[in-house]
Structure 1
Amino acid sequence: MYASFFGRLSIAPVFVAAIGLFILSQSAHAEIGAHILVDAKSGAVIDQKNATRKWYPASLTKLMTAYVTFKAIRAEKISLNSAVVQSQNSASEPPSKMGFKIGTKFTVDTALKIILIKSANDVAVALGEAVAGSEAGFIAMMNAEARRLGMTHTRFSNPHGLPDNSQVTTARDMAILAMALRRDFPESREFYNHPGIRFGKKTLRSANREFLLRVKGANGMKTGYICNSGYNVAASVTRRGRTLIGIIMGASSGLERTAFARQLFDAGFKKGRGGKKVTSLSGYSGNPPANGYCRRNKKLSSKQYMARYDMKNTQGGGLLFFGKQKTRNPAKVDTSSFTKSNGKPDWAKILDRTLGPRRIAYKPLPVGLGKPKGTPSVSASIPAENIPLPVANPIRKAKMEMRTKLQTAQTEPAAEVTGASAGTIPQIEAAGQRPGSAVNTSKAAHGSIFRKGMDFTVPVPAPSPSK
């Protein structure tokens, strides 16, 4: 009897260790860094992981840029038809960008559409200058709003989200911002629910397009990417009159970001409406990831991706096991149904099976310069000869000079920051245009407004549905 009793005791640690190894094996693949799912109306937390861990927002920053702008419009400091000017300071930002010539005027309405759909960094800075008179003044407004909204662990250092390790947030804070944007400015919903824009003869697709086109009830909001953050998204879905908001940070690819969001929302709508309020989450559960996060969090292979997110072979695209996602062994996944005859992944089928077929047709939103009225007010500290071209933020001046040098030497394509890796896939429609080459804008409707070799179609990564 005693032997059997002690025998069972000796087996227990082995069993626990085996369970631990199993869990570790399931998390050995690429992981989502942090996420939260909340009810947009009540703020109830439906699901979360590391929601209070500090993270880099990347282009989710532009949600605050938009919030501050909408607030200025409501206060009648500016209007949707007010002028935004492409200044020397804003034009110096790296891609993703529109590349307008310095001095080009366009409306606030146009700027909002461009930053929320196309995620242009140069336009984000120009918009901030138009609202506050200077980039530094606008950043101060962003941080003031973050404090007022209760974004306790958020600090903004620029209006666009390009790499700056002092610019941090949490999934919790971003959920609060996304809720506020929908609640305080319902009109903003018409700016971030489009899968792309058309400017003249050129079309640029949003990095959030497949989510918007395929996921039932999807209606927003914004993606983001820098290497130190991985792939981020603030997403919203409305079904049967109920809206949920999801914040996802640190995905290994744009495709995984979208599939995880679909899975999160599908599961969330099946749960109840109660739960802890997002504002009641306090403290923080960790520091931001170390530099080079994107290189450590390797992108899933097509087999690993299908093992985790295939809706046909897993209930809801994945099962839960002790709070971890249980996936099938990629080696045992039947690849015949999503592999082409040449052995390469059939991404059209993969998208259908992990996100669902397209529910609506792709239709880009036409965007032009508009009819801007007036000239943006400029801070008194700016020399008159620079009006309406605000001077650079002195804190970032050296950084911009370095960026210019890196842009000249850069050989890899870029989108939000690093191009195809950010999920934004610009498309060239001109006949015979070679991917990656400069576009001749002389025949375009708005060709004269673009800086030579710097218009928004340069550089152009090869289209890939997996990005």
Structure 2
Amino acid sequence: MTGSQIGRLTSVLVTMLALVLLLPVARAQADIGAYVLVDAKSGAVIEENNATRQWYPASLTKMMTAYVTFKAIRAGHITLNSAVVQSKNSLSEPPSKMGFKVGTRFTVDTALKIILIKSANDVAVALGEAVAGSEAGFIAMMNAEAARLGMSGSRFTNPHGLPDNRQVTTARDMAILAMALRRDFPEAREFYKHPGIRFGKKALRSANREFLLRVPGANGMKTGYICNSGYNVSASVTRGGRTLIAIILGAGSGLERTAFARQLFDEGFRKRGGRNIKSLTGVSAGPPADGYCRRNRSPGAKGYMARFDMENEKQGGFLFFKANREDVKVDEAGFTLANGKPDWAKILDRTLGPRRLAYRPLQVGLGKPDAAPATVGSAAVAVAIPAEDIPLPAANPVRRAQIQIRQKLQTTAAANVAGAAVAGASVAGGIPQAEVARPGAATDTAQAVAPGSIFRKGLDFTVPVPAPSPRRQ
């Protein structure tokens, strides 16, 4: 063999080796903005990618809302039975929401369950007002706790996570918060381990339910979504006395974030951690540009199976390096219905595993709140502001547009109902019939409040109702 031939052969071998070494980099996280997997007790980092890049937290924000509330309870400023009042300010928040009428009172315990399981934005604001006396005061407390915990890449501007480009975090910071929530307030674990709540006759499912019901050892914690963030999740799993926490930001769908979390945990429990999460310092990059969800689409049924099929993992390991290759062979017959559409039940079974637990929503009611909510300031107990008198803040353009659209829709609906009533009256003889007062209705002052009348018509938790799809939960 000549020297030139040996040189060419060496060049080919080097090129092939380089390609092999690069294959593991093209893992299933291509559609994930950032993630980190840590040991909940030691803080040791097991896996991470872009963990210090700023991202929008969406409803993962409510973990900090809960943390501040639990700290106020621990300090004796409030109790789980303290009163939370639905204010004009809190009711103005867009869905997801409960939509209680202004002045409706419920307990801190109820509020915590609603925000951590149902993720209601109006209740998050009402809870903040009950704890601090005002939404602004509560936000100040959130940022103070973030600074104390060392969440150097985070800033909070609201208690719920609705769109505000000033509200940012990192996967690293959210992992620190999740660890602190478990460590400092173990009682909090009872609030975020449930797959849903039942309020009266209404069953309200958690967006984290399939993870909780299917993944062995799953016990929390919180999901989040706005368009600019994509699908986020803070998840925790305990196996063999060891608990791991995963923070995943910017998935393309609800199923992708859940399947990727499951995959991270399954692999992570076979590893030991490295450097401590707090040693990841600084901010590596800014948050994604607006409209992230429109650029980062759902992988689709075939994409899910190429990346997360547990049957393939059993046969050939996790093989992350195959996850984003377009030439991955996928047998669609195993997860396709007779009509050619995806069989989502089978896809869930094969990407998350079969349901190990039955779906049992937690029963939640208003509770029996104490007289007046005791609020806390930055250093001492402050005078409570009547929640129903807290003024509406100046809405940001997105929020203002959402409110205006809802008002127009409600006005149109009311006009249609009135027109139908007049039309019906003309058919019946031209005289509109007066509405008969129902027992328990607002006009029936002799009766107690009827079930369901605590909700403001048209703004309760049933609006809007998204089309059910495992990809978007």
Which category of TM-score, normalised to the shorter sequence, fits these structures? 0.7 to 0.9
TM-score, length basis structure 1: 0.85
Aligned: 1:311 with 2:310: yes
Cα pair 1:222 1:234 within 8 Å, conserved: yes
Which residue of 348, 356, 361 corresponds with 2:345? 348
- Partner SS, residue 447 of structure 1: coil
Distance of 2:56 and 2:384 partners within structure 1: 36
Distance of 1:86 and 1:389 partners within structure 2: 7
Cα pair 2:237 2:265 within 8 Å, conserved: yes
Aligned: 1:81 with 2:86: no
Residue matched to 2:210: 210
Residue matched to 2:145: 145
Distance of 2:15 and 2:407 partners within structure 1: 57
**CA deviation vs aligned residue, 1:78-117 (integer Å, no higher than 9, x gap):** 0000000000000000000000001100000000000000
Residue matched to 1:465: 470
Cα pair 1:30 1:299 within 8 Å, conserved: no
The amino acid across from 1:136 in the alignment is A
Q: Quote how far apart the aligned CAs of 1:30 are.
A: 5.5
Residues 277-356 of structure 1 aligned to structure 2 (within 5 Å)? 277-315=276-314, 318-321=318-321, 326=323, 329=326, 332-356=329-353
Aligned: 1:47 with 2:44: no
Distance 1:398 1:333, change over 3 A: closer
Residues 397-416 of structure 1 aligned to structure 2 (within 5 Å)? 400-408=399-407
Distance of 1:343 and 1:317 partners within structure 2: 29
Aligned: 1:71 with 2:71: yes
Residue matched to 2:433: none
The amino acid across from 1:466 in the alignment is R
How many pairs were matched up?
A: 430
Q: Quote how far apart the aligned CAs of 1:298 are.
A: 1.2
**CA deviation vs aligned residue, 1:9-60 (integer Å, no higher than 9, x gap):** 7657965896799789x57995111111111111111111111111110000
Residue matched to 1:267: 267
Residue matched to 2:59: 59
The amino acid across from 1:349 in the alignment is K
Cα pair 1:92 1:122 within 8 Å, conserved: yes
Cα pair 1:318 1:326 within 8 Å, conserved: no
The amino acid across from 2:313 in the alignment is T
Q: Identify unmatched segments of 5+ residues in structure 1.
A: 412-440
Q: Rg larger in 1 or in 2?
A: 2
Residue matched to 1:4: 5
Cα pair 1:308 1:317 within 8 Å, conserved: no
- Partner SS, residue 460 of structure 1: coil
What RMSD, in angstroms, separates the aligned Cα atoms of the two structures?
A: 2.9
Residues 183-198 of structure 1 aligned to structure 2 (within 5 Å)? 183-198=183-198
Q: Quote how far apart the aligned CAs of 1:457 are.
A: 1.0
The amino acid across from 1:150 in the alignment is G
Distance of 2:351 and 2:73 partners within structure 1: 40
Q: Quote how far apart the aligned CAs of 1:405 are.
A: 1.4
- Partner SS, residue 361 of structure 1: coil
**CA deviation vs aligned residue, 1:401-441 (integer Å, no higher than 9, x gap):** 33311434689xxxxxxxxxxxxxxxxxxxxxxxxxxxxx9
Cα pair 2:375 2:384 within 8 Å, conserved: no
Distance 1:460 1:88, change over 3 A: same
Residue matched to 1:101: 101
Q: Quote how far apart the aligned CAs of 1:337 are.
A: 1.1
TM-score, length basis structure 2: 0.84
Cα pair 1:307 1:330 within 8 Å, conserved: no
Q: Identify unmatched segments of 5+ residues in structure 2.
A: 378-382, 411-439, 442-448
Larger deviation, residues 80-89 vs 456-465 = 456-465
**CA deviation vs aligned residue, 1:308-347 (integer Å, no higher than 9, x gap):** 00000124873144xxx64565663111111110101111
The amino acid across from 2:65 in the alignment is T
Q: Quote how far apart the aligned CAs of 1:269 are.
A: 0.5
The amino acid across from 1:276 in the alignment is R
Distance 1:186 1:121, change over 3 A: same
Residue matched to 1:454: 459
- Partner SS, residue 140 of structure 1: helix
The amino acid across from 1:458 in the alignment is V
Cα pair 1:310 1:317 within 8 Å, conserved: no
The amino acid across from 1:196 in the alignment is G
Distance 1:71 1:386, change over 3 A: closer
- Partner SS, residue 212 of structure 2: helix
Which structure has more helix as a fraction of its residues? 2
The amino acid across from 2:365 in the alignment is G
Distance of 2:28 and 2:244 partners within structure 1: 29
Distance of 1:288 and 1:127 partners within structure 2: 28
- Partner SS, residue 260 of structure 2: helix
Distance 1:317 1:63, change over 3 A: farther
% identity of equivalent residues: 69
The amino acid across from 1:448 in the alignment is S
